[in-house]
Structure 1
């Protein structure tokens, strides 16, 4: 479907044309018409499917074409799980509204609170932020959402994983206008906590699911290698990065300490590498992502903080030095490459500590996984066997004679005359109910 086929305002069509966007992705083609009708929406699609525009275009269209419910409250609130993803959404929003007299504010944790208060006093129509900091502004009376028209939650499942359930409830309670429209985008719809959130925040939502989040990405070649230990992983990492030329590389680790250690190790080998982790200040993280985005650094070593939302088109290799604990997080990590039609490669190391995660990922992907080997770096580790199930033992009650069996009050093994023996005969529920024969009128007369 072409964007010109969608009932979008001509000013949005012009902005898309300038950017060279003509063909709508599947999620955009299905979600935008429902969103424009004002329906609540819950949608899932794989990473890199263009869902950001799927909610930004209807949001901007509403602000451009309809009267506000309130002159002071923001009209659209967009929530993201991480600061990096919120910033990316904000920058896409900025170019969509660049030619219009519309204001947007970015409200993130870890940044100056008072500066954000000043920005909110200018009554922006759009607020993009993280749930924790938005809740802080609600509590501090520097933000009111009574007149909010659209509440959009990007990567809602990730927000729940990060523990923002209470903040989302606070935001939902504050945005209490009966005409509010809500849209929720998630990697998966099969999540009990997400289902509960959907019931409490959305009204008869239209459900859209594009593909399967675990489906194989045709533009990404995935390889798995067995590893004996951390040293073995380090030797394989150096080999894979150097075996052919890659535009840019992201290496995912389990801990913050490992990001610094691996980055230093790669620098010693003459590779341009930089480390990103959650213990850095927001300014430091911004500088690191800016350097990597401009191509000043060849390799980014990071925790899961960079696994979602970042649109880095030059990443041609992703390495899972440690497998993630959550299977769907693997899909998001791998999705940092192979974007916008480019080919990518994803490599994962599986050591003894990664084995449980590997089994979870294998089950989630529902694909056959064959392990590759590097000549001269073959692993001795071949996987872990599942633990044997212990045979149940029957304990006899002390002091109870065989003659007591079957008698009432004879202990836990009591099988009195009124009890069902489940291992013998038929159960009571299988027997037809016996009824007394009904007397006829003739019988009564006699």
Structure 2
């Protein structure tokens, strides 16, 4: 037994309290030497907590259900054990892909693909990216070459299954990244189809998600996983302590525009992401920022795939200092230079706020998240406070103070003070003083009550 395997076995048997006190190095893991070399070249040394627990269990071939917040290093947590398996074990089939990694968006799939390519660069393994927005026939040609690893989106993979361009009878690992987001986007039927194509006892499945406690996630876990090891690193509803959060009240759009320019103060080689609610605002704000000395780009879902790729590549390569985007970039982007996230508009859902601000403070770095709160953002702000179980005080920009101070809850507004009956009578008597009392003569109806409504009946004529 090698030194690495001895260390690894000792680590596995340590109590969890000891594991948290000591850090594990990639060099200590029993990995194939080619994979170790690639990891070393990429500059990865010490494992994060999610990597430690996911990789050590994943190397043993166990199914995993992992919950961890963004920026914790999940990508290496599933790619390292997957690639190590391909390098150290014989394939189940010579034709089918051995590993399938599914991501909710094209951008996240592409980012995982780039990491995988770097990890297999010293090996004979091949990798293919299969996402929507790219040429379908070209992807079919790639799939016919039998790549070892396929990384893509569930919708496009399902399309290729229907077209019989790819088969997963020999699939060894199925990996779902951001599984909760895939369900939100409506990919449950495609996931079921993919699962059925590779439903055999030798398949290992690893599922990574921000949340695991929903009913839909539980059903998905029961369907796809076989006695999984459940790993919950921390409360995903709480951003890590390295992100400073500040909130500013805003009066209207023009006021927000001025506040945004005042808040966008970046030092050399730092970048910022500005999140908006609408696609139209991304282009409008990008133009305004460029007119005021910034080098900004905009991104939203209506752009063609090649346009989206170009924008992300330019931002990743530090050719722009600000990216103005919708929630399209709220998950998956891993850009070390993003020191600042600004919510021009708050998202409707509190969980999406957590994913947004998780674009900064990556891999242990510190970051700042600033949010503008107008009338339309108020109830989102209250939901965020409830979700995070925190009460935030508002900061203020001296040059751009806000007149808006918040909204009253509709329930509180509906609760009017009750007036005592005696007070009503007194008010009524005060109004009648000095006025003649009007007496109306009552007319009695010669009627018999039938049910709840008095009705008149004709009397029978007397003989």
Q: By the TM > 0.5 criterion, same fold? A: yes
Which secondary structure state, in structure 2, belongs to the residue aligned with residue 388 of structure 1?
Answer: helix
Shift of 1:122: 0.5
Which secondary structure state, in structure 2, belongs to the residue aligned with residue 297 of structure 1?
Answer: coil
Match of 2:257 in 1: 234
Q: Select 2:279's aligned residue among 249, 252, 256.
A: 256
> Are residue 362 (structure 1) and residue 385 (structure 2) matched?
yes
Taking the aligned partners of 1:347 and 1:217, their CA distance within structure 2 comes to 15
Pairing 1:91-106 to 2, within 5 Å after superposition: 91-106=114-129
Shift of 1:243: 8.2
Change (3 A) 1:244 1:369: farther
Taking the aligned partners of 2:269 and 2:246, their CA distance within structure 1 comes to 16
Q: Select 1:326's aligned residue among 333, 338, 349.
A: 349
Quick check: 1:7–1:33 contact (8 Å CA) kept in 2? Answer: no
Taking the aligned partners of 2:336 and 2:170, their CA distance within structure 1 comes to 38
Q: Select 1:197's aligned residue among 220, 240, 244.
A: 220
**Count of residue pairs the alignment pairs up:** 395
Taking the aligned partners of 1:399 and 1:273, their CA distance within structure 2 comes to 76
Shift of 1:400: 4.9
**Structure 1 residues 59-85: Cα deviation after superposition (integer angstroms, max 9, x where no partner):** 001111111111111010000111111
Shift of 1:320: 0.4
Change (3 A) 1:59 1:244: closer
Quick check: 2:339–2:368 contact (8 Å CA) kept in 1? Answer: yes
Match of 1:314 in 2: 337
Taking the aligned partners of 1:302 and 1:245, their CA distance within structure 2 comes to 22
Deviates more, 1:213-222 or 1:265-274: 213-222
> Are residue 45 (structure 1) and residue 68 (structure 2) matched?
yes
Q: Kindly report the root-mean-square deviation, in angstroms, between the aligned alpha carbons of the 2 structures.
A: 1.7
> Are residue 163 (structure 1) and residue 186 (structure 2) matched?
yes
Match of 1:27 in 2: 50
Q: Which consecutive residues of structure 1, in runs of 5 or more, have no partner in the other structure?
A: 392-397, 402-446
Which secondary structure state, in structure 2, belongs to the residue aligned with residue 224 of structure 1?
Answer: strand
Give TM-score, length-normalised by structure 1: 0.85
Pairing 1:168-187 to 2, within 5 Å after superposition: 168-187=191-210
Match of 1:142 in 2: 165
Match of 2:358 in 1: 335
Give TM-score, length-normalised by structure 2: 0.82
Match of 2:324 in 1: 301
Between structure 1 and structure 2, the one with the greater Rg is 2
Deviates more, 1:75-84 or 1:361-370: 361-370
Match of 2:108 in 1: 85
Match of 1:128 in 2: 151
> Are residue 280 (structure 1) and residue 300 (structure 2) matched?
no
Change (3 A) 1:183 1:45: same
Quick check: 2:239–2:358 contact (8 Å CA) kept in 1? Answer: no
Taking the aligned partners of 2:71 and 2:266, their CA distance within structure 1 comes to 27
Taking the aligned partners of 1:388 and 1:281, their CA distance within structure 2 comes to 45
Taking the aligned partners of 1:211 and 1:388, their CA distance within structure 2 comes to 34
Match of 1:217 in 2: 240
Match of 1:110 in 2: 133
Which secondary structure state, in structure 1, belongs to the residue aligned with residue 410 of structure 2?
Answer: coil
Shift of 1:3: 1.7
Match of 1:405 in 2: none
**Structure 1 residues 383-421: Cα deviation after superposition (integer angstroms, max 9, x where no partner):** 121122768xxxxxx9559xxxxxxxxxxxxxxxxxxxx
Match of 2:368 in 1: 345
Taking the aligned partners of 1:302 and 1:362, their CA distance within structure 2 comes to 24
Which 4+ runs in 1 deviate beyond 6 A?
243-246
Shift of 1:162: 1.3
Match of 2:93 in 1: 70
